[in-house]
Amino acid sequence: MAAKSVPVTLSSVTKIFRDPKTRAEVHAVENANFDVKPGELVTLLGPSGCGKTTTLRMIGGFELPTKGRILIGDSDVTFLPPNGRQTATVFQSYGLFPHMDVFDNIAYGLRIRKLPQSEIKERVEAVLELVGLSDLARRAPGRLSGGQQQRVALARSLVVEPQVLLLDEPLSNLDALLREQMRVEIRRIQKSLGITAIYVTHDRIEAMSLSDRVIVMRDGRIQQIGSPGDIYERPVSMFVAGFVGKVAFFPAQLEGMEADGRALCTVGGRQVRAGSAAEGLGAGARVVVMARPESLRLVGRGEAVATGLVTARVYLGSSVEIYVKTDAGEILVQLDDPSGKTIPSEGETVWIGFDEKLVRVLPAE
Amino acid sequence: MFTKKKLIVFAVVCAIFAAGEYWIFSTLQNTFEKNSVKEMTSLVRAMTASAPKDDEDLADWSGQLAGTYAGNRFFVIRGVPGEEGSESVGGDSALFDILGLPANAATAEHAAESVSYLEVFRWPEKVSFSGVPYTLMVAPVPDEENGSARATLLAALDSSGYVAYGRLVQTLALVAFVLFALGFGIATFSRDPISGYAILVLSAVVVAFVAYPLFEAVRLTLVREGRFSLDVWKTILSNRQYLQALWGSVQLGIVTATISTFIGFMYAFAVARTSMKGKKLVTALATMPVISPPFSLTLSIILLFGKNGIITKQLLGLQNFNIYGLGGLALVQTISMFPIAFLTMQGVLQAIDSTLEDASLDLNASRWHTFSHVTLPLAAPGLLSSWLLVFTNSLADFANPLLLSGSYHVLSVESYIEVTGMSRLNNGAALSLLLLLPTLTAFLVQRRWVSKKSFVVVTGKPSTRLSDLASPGARRALTGFVAVVSGLIVGLYATIVAGCFVKNWGIDYSFTLVNIGEALTRGRQALVSTITLAGIATPIAGILSMVAAVILVRKKFPGKRILESLIMTPFAIPGTLVGISFILAFNKPPLLLVGTGAVLVINYVIRELPVGLEGGVAALRQIDPSIEEAAADLGADQATIFRTIILPLIRPAFISSMSYTFVRSMTAVSAIIFLISARWYHITIQIYNFSENLRFGLASVLSTTLIIIVLAVFGLMRLLVRQSEFLEKTVTTQ
């Protein structure tokens, strides 16, 4: 079932809508440039309205870019209609044909391609097997559960052997448990077929656990492209840092950069050598130091970069989360392996420090 | 999309097409010109051959020619013009002046030369006198004896037909080119050519059959003898009879709307807010007048209350009772239109959340207080809008006043009489346009005011019911009222059926079956042609309206608003105006259609398109667009999506649109009456003719037949729609 994997390239793609009421221009996507390598799964991640779905719809052919070009493999598909390009989309609302049963839904694309009846049957049965719905072939879609409908939509897209699989928030209508299952399932199928896939979501956990690379978008602009580890550990901005995970920011003054990439700065009156820094920062810049909860710890007054009162304690078994109200806002400190340690109680004053190697300097926003 | 290569290909192909077309059409025009020159030459030769032998009589000759060949102009010269001894003899001297113009000297010399060789000379340019183009021929009158020209005839032959032909050829060529360029342009540049073609076809249809006829109607009222003039409107607005008709229409509209809204509200309240029994039956009976054919209720009113009516004459013994006029009209219109108010008000009342009334009752308000302080204020905008709806319908009504107005004048009938009786098309057009005025006002009031004042409380969940808002006494009174009106409806339909089997209504009530045989024999042709034409129009209107719905809901393109308004226009304007504008537009080239069945079919399609479109749009809005996107994504083009996805999903709307088209075409009157011909007659007009000739038995039979057909079609529709109900459910659960 695996067709030859192809890359997808977007070069300076811009989409400008005109608001039907005010006639004002809305820049839904602004100068998007990225490549998706053959067989790679890339996620477009961002808050709603950031242009990620519009980008996907332009790749699928449902919207025309105002500027720029889209290539699938070597061919320019920018102006081709959806039925003229080798993409298959799994829609957020699935878009199953309610007047056809599961089998006919999946066979639709093959019938359009006028394949012989025997081959259609063979391929539909194979894909039903793949998504684990073999016994529901004659069910009407209205009588399937959400997860089953999701699988039918996936199967219907896969059976036509598209060059690129596009997934538009496919799991957002499912409950938490099912979502986790389907996530694993989709990744398994995508890997086994080696198909190039682009996945749109606003759920960072989905994006982190599923993708080879993540593209973070905001207000129509691409903020950062990188592996899940990259964007979690080495975000380029406060927005990306905050969007992909829990984080604390400490206002700081950048003193200078060191040869090994570490940054010397002052946080809360203390000299700190942060593990890394965003590019393009010079001495004297107004910056923040970002720290993930796991790099924070409670320290003595002498080592602290911030101090405050404990507002809440959440016991999670393997760790305890402590919320501290400080001058830099509410900060979450994660204490691992809590058994046998003294955990500060609510209302207590604590001092917070961090592991200098793990923190990163970002430009202040 | 607009790549250089495509633009070049497009330009080249268009140029080739234009060149080919130019060649074809100029050949056509040349051939026609050659033929007409030949014809004119031989005509002029025939004239000169008939010249008086005696030179003395030449003076009267031009006058004789002008008498024989009316519409042409002549001038006679003794000898050859320009030569010595030539002398003007008489005729239209304007012709001679042309030869004398200094600019024409060379041509005139040429002409004189031809004449002296006894050859007919055709003036190369057209000449024109008071706006009419002529071909000027210079012909010798040969002298039998010495073979020279003894006189010269200048004949200016009317060439307006020829010029009109040339213009027609040019128009056709231009239209062909524009259509080709648009079609080819869409195919070259569009990502979705099929939708492009659909938009093109729809636009062409509405421009040709909605915009163009209406434009012609308006133009006719503003033009006199080729010039802009307000004479027609001055006549209309200063003539007492016409103004009386306008006032008559408005008066009738007000009376009908007021009574209908009252009855409609009683009905709606009884059905939506009380625990009355037999609601289904009451609703079914109330919808009968909406779908039943025209003339049927009028017919039964005449049978009951007319001069020989069973109630007025037989039961009450009244001699001079006159049902014709405002009273009778208001009665008939109220019965046929209160269901509109009922259905509107029922919708409004159902949309008002009854928990509001429960809350009022719970706060110890009395039922009457609750009704007058909660229900009625909430329903007020709905009341006004149903009043306006009935008012507009009453004004546009043509069938009922046609039979029942007597000496009472209403606009719709007045404009019909102007056109068919008096052959004053421009007055008729102006009167039917005048009818638009109150209709438009009502529409604007509805738009501007009612829709803003609407209090309808939408809670999203159907309000579960229902505290009985009427006290037992009030309920009994309401039920009684509803029962009386429903009984009247049943009685009226029973009268029509009874009318079929009575020998001579009013005089001889013995049972007979003769009527049935005679009516079906005499009405057979009309019935067959009506069913045939309605049958042709039905699938066309059905498909077209669904295509239009898809395009208007799902596609973005410039001019979408205009296209939509043009499609919806025939729904808003009275049928008489549609009919009159159709005869104005299609009684002449390039679209000479009056007298054919096609004009009827087109009229049905155009008038029913809006209803189908509304249904299609409502159905499409319920369908998740990603279903269609998924199909496109899987490789289906727009036509395939329409056939395999959209049509099956909006099947209920499609079927009901088709059955409405069929039924409304079968029962059409107002526009159709202008367009029928001996070959293509219409069953409703046949009913009208029978009634006019007091053959009530025959009219009853045809009316009953039509009612049966209508009910059968709706029954069939219900059956078909019910089968696909499960679809609707799965669509909405998606």
**Residue A287 sits in the same domain as residue A358:** yes
Share of chain A above pLDDT 90, in %: 43
On whether residue A111 sits in a domain, the answer given is yes
- Distance from CA of residue B456 to its chain's centroid? 35
Looking at residue B75, its pLDDT comes to 87
Are A75 and A158 found together in one domain? yes
Question: Cβ–Cβ of A109/B627 closer than 8 Å?
Answer: no
**CB within 8 Å: B648 and A96:** no
- A179 phi and psi angles, rounded to 5 deg: -60, -45
Cα-only R_g, chain B: 34
Tell me the per-residue pLDDT of A171-197, one tens digit each, with 9 for 90 and over.
888 888 888 888 888 899 899 889 999
Look at B30-39, B195-204, B303-312 and tell me which has the smallest mean pLDDT. Answer: B303-312
Residue A155 lies in a domain: yes
Is residue B31's pLDDT more than 50?
yes
Q: How confident is the model at residue A241 (pLDDT cuts 50, 70, 90)?
A: very high
Selected residue with higher pLDDT from B164 and A78: A78
State the count of interchain CB pairs (< 8 A) between A and B.
Answer: 88
* CB contact (8 A) between residue B629 and residue A98: no
Where a domain ends, among A205, A233, A261? A233
Q: How does strand A306-315 pair with strand A349-354?
A: antiparallel
Q: Is residue B303 predicted with pLDDT exceeding 90?
A: no
Distance from CA of B196 to the nearest CA of A (A): 13
Query: CB–CB of B636 and A83 under 8 A?
Result: yes
A108-156, pLDDT tens digit by residue? Answer: 999 999 999 999 999 999 999 888 889 999 998 888 888 899 899 999 9
Point out the residue among A83, A97, A141 whose CB comes nearest to the CB of B635: A83
- Give me the residue from B626, B640, B731 closest to A98, CB to CB: B731
Q: Return the pLDDT at B463.
A: 47
Name the strand (E) or helix (H) holding A69: strand A67-72
Question: Is A99 in contact with B626 (Cβ distance < 8 A)?
Answer: no
Q: Which domain holds residue A38?
A: 8-233
* B-chain residues near A142 (CB < 8 A): 729-730, 733-734
User: Residue B373 has what pLDDT?
Assistant: 85
Number of domains in chain A: 2
Question: CB distance A109–B635 less than 8 Å?
Answer: yes
pLDDT at A236 (0 to 100):
92
Q: Which of A233, A266, A299 is the last residue of a domain?
A: A233
Give residue-wise pLDDT tens across range A318-360: 888 889 998 888 888 888 877 777 788 888 899 998 888 889 9
Q: Which amino acid is at B633?
A: D
CB proximity A99 to B under 8 Å: yes
pLDDT of B733 > 60? The answer is: no
pLDDT for B639-696, tens place per residue? 999 999 999 888 888 988 898 899 989 988 888 899 988 888 899 999 999 888 888 8
Start-to-end Cα distance in chain B: 35
pLDDT in tens, B335-348: 999 998 998 888 88
Same domain, A180 and A275: no
Q: pLDDT tens digit string along A191-237?
A: 988 999 999 999 988 999 899 999 999 999 999 999 999 999 999 99
Closest by Cβ to B634, choosing from A94, A108, A141: A108
Is residue A1 assigned to a domain?
no
Residues B91-147 pLDDT 10s: 887 888 887 788 888 888 888 888 888 888 888 888 888 778 888 888 888 877 777
> What is the secondary structure of B226-268 as a DSSP string?
TEE--HHHHHHHH-HHHHHHHHHHHHHHHHHHHHHHHHHHHHH
The reply to whether residue A87 touches residue B633, judged by beta carbons under 8 angstroms, is yes
Alpha helices in B555-637 (DSSP H): 560-572, 575-586, 597-621, 625-633
Tokens 């009334």 label which residue? B357
- Among chain B residues, the shortest Cα distance to A165 is held by B633
CATH number of the domain residue A350 falls in: 2.40.50.140
The pLDDT value recorded for residue B459 is 46
Cβ atoms < 10 Å from Cβ of B521: 10
DSSP B544-565: HHHHHHHHHHH---TTHHHHHH
Which residues from chain A sit within 8 angstroms of residue B649, using beta carbons? Answer: 98-99
Q: Using the beta-carbon criterion (under 8 Å), do B624 and A93 form an inter-chain contact?
A: yes
pLDDT digits (tens, 9 = 90+) for B75-101: 888 888 777 777 788 788 788 888 778
Assess A156–B contact: CB distance below 8 Å, yes or no.
Answer: yes
Boundary-marking domain end, from A172, A200, A233 = A233
Domain B232-292+315-471, CATH number (from 3.40.640.10, 3.90.1150.10, 1.10.3720.10, 3.30.360.10): 1.10.3720.10
What CATH code is carried by the domain that includes residue A100? 3.40.50.300
Identify the pLDDT of residue B723: 63
Please give the share of chain B, as a percent, with pLDDT higher than 70: 95
Q: Does A145 touch chain B (CB under 8 A)?
A: no
Domain B4-164 belongs in CATH node 3.90.1150.10? no
B280 Cβ under 8 Å from any chain A Cβ: no
B480-532 pLDDT, tens per residue? 999 999 999 999 999 888 888 888 777 777 888 888 888 888 888 999 999 99
Q: What is the pLDDT of residues A35-68, one digit of tens each?
A: 999 999 999 999 988 999 999 999 999 988 999 9
Summary mean pLDDT of chain B: 84
Residue A63's closest CA among A73, A71, A72, A53?
Answer: A53
B631 touches chain A (CB under 8 A): yes
Q: Does A82 touch chain B (CB under 8 A)?
A: yes
Its CATH class, for the domain covering B190-229+523-734, is mainly alpha
Tell me if chain A has a CB within 8 Å of the CB of B510: no
- Give the gap in angstroms from C-alpha A70 to the nearest C-alpha of chain B: 13
CB-CB under 8 Å, B633 with A97: no
Count of CB atoms within 10 A of residue B149's CB? 27
